[in-house]
Copies of this chain bind each other. A is one copy, B any other.
Amino acid sequence: MATISGRTFGSDNHAGVYPAVLEALAAVNSGDAVGYGEDAISKAAVARLCAEAGARQGYLVFNGTGANVLALSLLVRRPYEAIICAESSHLNVDECGAPERVLGSKLLAISVPDGKLTPALIEARLSGRGDEHRVQPRVIQIAQATELGTCYSLSELRRLRDFGRAHDLLIYLDGARIANAAAYLGCALADIAACADVLSFGGTKSGALGVEAILVMTDGLAESAPYHRKQVMQLASKMRYLAAQIDALLDEDRWLVGARHANARARQLGAALETVPGVEIAQPIQSNGVFTAMSRDLAARLLQDWSVQVWSESPDGRVIVRWMTAFDTTEQDVAELARAVADAASQLPAPGVAGQTRA
């Protein structure tokens, strides 16, 4: 995939960063500051984010893979403890096996059509507890929003949390797109965070240059975090420049305002695409992703012009194409994309048999 001008809709990480983020970097660029987060700027930004989330402790890291592995390092105390996750999760599919390599732990992946785990699905994977031949489930890993653009409702999250507590399972919530979820649910960050033992707060996809945070909600889990962060190569020396990004996102609720905007653009796109013959919306649009089922031919045509991903294959022979919006996607960008898809679809012969949507 080559860089193309204009919007790519390929990922929310194709977007640039808020000018305010760059201004925040400049604002802290004065004089010396002790490294590794012991400076006043870093401490204040972490404290501010913790207050927003109701978290006990926070740790800034470089990227999402680092955030996921650090979070799980706090929760998995023994290499025979396992992590229950969705088969479609980024953790399972898109981390190149980093959890297995760095944690030495097994992922117990559960197939789910909408990216969301349920207590019943999890319970079915708990057999084998107490059997030395089996890994011992210890963590439930969920993403909010999910990798399929869906969101858990707060009551779904609370049921998972209660189920976890009842079954001695800790909850890690991958919040790479937690802003989009908060925007969709119309709730506070703390409402979502309260359902997890540890969560990540994604800054990069929300308009920062490169920063994520690990937030610890439950007592007794943070003690080892500084060492794990160092070991998993996520300890920044010039921490103030990560902290400044967090500050810029929290100022004026940029993290949330931008997510509301991105979500609205996704809904706009979904509304436009569902009128295009041969394109069907494959998942409910609950964040900034639009998943569309279409023929391979149409997808191939669109991939010539857009840096999007064929997310998966559909059992009916079609493919699922993912379109992502970001904090800076404009109405005009979306309108142009929708027009281009409609044009491409109209130039292909109509499919003989209408496919079924996945959602």
Q: Could you list which residues of chain A lie within 8 angstroms of chain B, going by C-beta atoms?
A: 1-8, 10-11, 13-17, 19, 22, 25-26, 28-36, 38-41, 62-66, 69, 77-80, 82, 93-98, 100-102, 104-107, 132-136, 204-205, 209-210, 224, 226-238, 241-242, 307
Contacts and interface: CB of A to CB of B under 8 A. Distances in A.
A225 to B, nearest CB: 9
A222 to B, nearest CB: 13
Q: What does DSSP make chain A's interface, helix, strand, loop or mixed?
A: loop
Nearest to A176: B237
A5 B34 contact: no
Contacts of A133: 93-96, 230
B227 A96 contact: yes
Q: How many copies does the complex hold?
A: 4
Contacts of A238: 13, 16-17, 204, 209-210
A104 B95 CA distance: 13
Given A25-B22, A32-B6, A35-B11, A63 B227 contact: no
A78 B3 contact: no
Given A3-B39, A133-B230, A238-B17, A79 B101 contact: yes
A200 to B, nearest CB: 13
